[in-house]
Amino acid sequence: MDTKINFAVVHELIKEQHKAIQESNIRPNVLDITIPAVDKLIVGATSIYGRKNNTAHYGTFAAKTASDFPNDFSSYASLASHTEKSFLEITSSAMVELYDQAKSAHASSGGYILFIDYENAQGRFLMTSMLKKKDGLRLNENLVPEELIELDLSSLYHAARISFKRFAEYKNASESEKHELNYLSFLSQNAGRSAAGYFVTALGCALGTASSTATKNLIIESAKFFRDRPDLKKHRLAVKDDILRYLEKQKDAQESAKLSEIEHIARAYFPASYDGQADDLADEFTSYLNSEAVGVPVEFPVNKSVLDKHTHIFYKSENWQLKFDRDALGTGIGAEIRFIKESNQLVINNLPTDVITLIQEALADRTEPTDSASK
């Protein structure tokens, strides 16, 4: 479905860096979304969310927060119908929290705060983003250049987006299920540890813990991205193997996987003919992974059990179990672990000497002694 805008409004948080905050400029009514300039503003803000330089962290509201916004959003989301009045109330709630946080953050700065309640193919969302002014030029009717102040729509300085659908799923989930559910995303350098981290703090945002979902979606969807493009399809298995090795390395080092490093891996498989378009393709790749539909965060801890499912074959029966790297499996004579389809046999080639010794000792222990040997 196309994007449907329910409500939109812009308020102003008036704060210059290293200066005292001023009273916020709160607009008393919603924007007329039929005005072309308003439509351009909304489309511009929503279209760059999750794209290059605007990739998102995924998470939930913090379990412990001084912000009233999470509770106010919960009340807003539970309404049977939403009105301009209820929308303006939830935006005012956010502005109160932003004001309080920015007031105590000396190095912070304000800006224009755009709020949008909208729906698309992924469901309904409430999006909050900070826009900044930038200087520009225009020609007047006499073709003389004049200074122009305009909004910078090339980048969202700070933003958050909440999914109504996933928020409801989270509220109805069990405690164990909640660990693998995210319903909001946010943009902010270092996930809130920068000077302007007051934005996500004000809204009560916290990084999620859904490492298994992120790990699984990264492995599956990165390969799908390559598979769905004719000029990249032949590299789908190779890029998947490289990503799996990268995840293994990060897991062993107890470090998070980073979307920027995944992008670097993918770039190695872009055709040489893409030289002038590599940045656009890389942007498309990371945007796809970071999208609401896929939900791979900017960075996340690697989930060991999910990774093992994609890097190892494991099976356990009553009498035996096996586990080996998928890379060791093959059907050729030289494969380290060879599967013979015709006879449904698994053959282990080139057994190490110590393993052979163990097997021989086990067989010897099971051999019945002969009569002569027992005398």
pLDDT for res 149: 63
| 156 vs 260, higher pLDDT | 260
Residue 129 contacts residue 185 (beta carbons within 8 Å): no
Tens of pLDDT, residues 270-308:
988 776 788 889 999 999 999 888 989 888 999 988 898
- Answer whether residue 206 shows pLDDT above 50: yes
Compute the average pLDDT of residues 99-121: 87
pLDDT for res 323: 75
- Answer whether residue 1 shows pLDDT above 60: no
At 342 the three-state DSSP class reads helix
Residue 94 contacts residue 128 (beta carbons within 8 Å): yes
Instruction: Enumerate helices (H) and strands (E) in the chain, giving the number of each.
Output: 13, 16
Residue 274 contacts residue 255 (beta carbons within 8 Å): no
pLDDT for res 190: 47
- Phi/psi for 295 (5° steps) reads 75, 30
- Phi/psi for 338 (5° steps) reads -105, 130
Residue 59 contacts residue 146 (beta carbons within 8 Å): no
- Extract the runs of DSSP E, i.e. beta strands, from 198-340: 205-207, 257-258, 299-300, 312-316, 321-325, 329-330, 337-340
Euclidean distance between CA atoms 327 and 244, whole angstroms? 11
Euclidean distance between CA atoms 120 and 165, whole angstroms? 12
Tens of pLDDT, residues 179-191:
888 999 998 654 4
pLDDT for res 243: 95
High-pLDDT (> 70) share of the chain, % = 88
- Answer whether residue 222 shows pLDDT above 80: yes
Other Cβ atoms within 10 Å of 186 Cβ, number: 22
Q: If you search the block for the tokens 């001023």, which residue do you land on?
A: 22
CA distances from 32 to 9, 29, 292, 341 (A): 9, 9, 27, 67
Binned at pLDDT 50, 70 and 90, residue 314 comes out as: confident
The lowest-confidence range among 9-18, 272-281, 284-293, 334-343 is 272-281
- Answer whether residue 374 shows pLDDT above 70: no
Other Cβ atoms within 10 Å of 337 Cβ, number: 18
In the chain, where the domains are located: 4-207, 211-306, 313-367
- Answer whether residue 133 shows pLDDT above 90: no
Euclidean distance between CA atoms 196 and 109, whole angstroms? 7
Euclidean distance between CA atoms 375 and 370, whole angstroms? 9
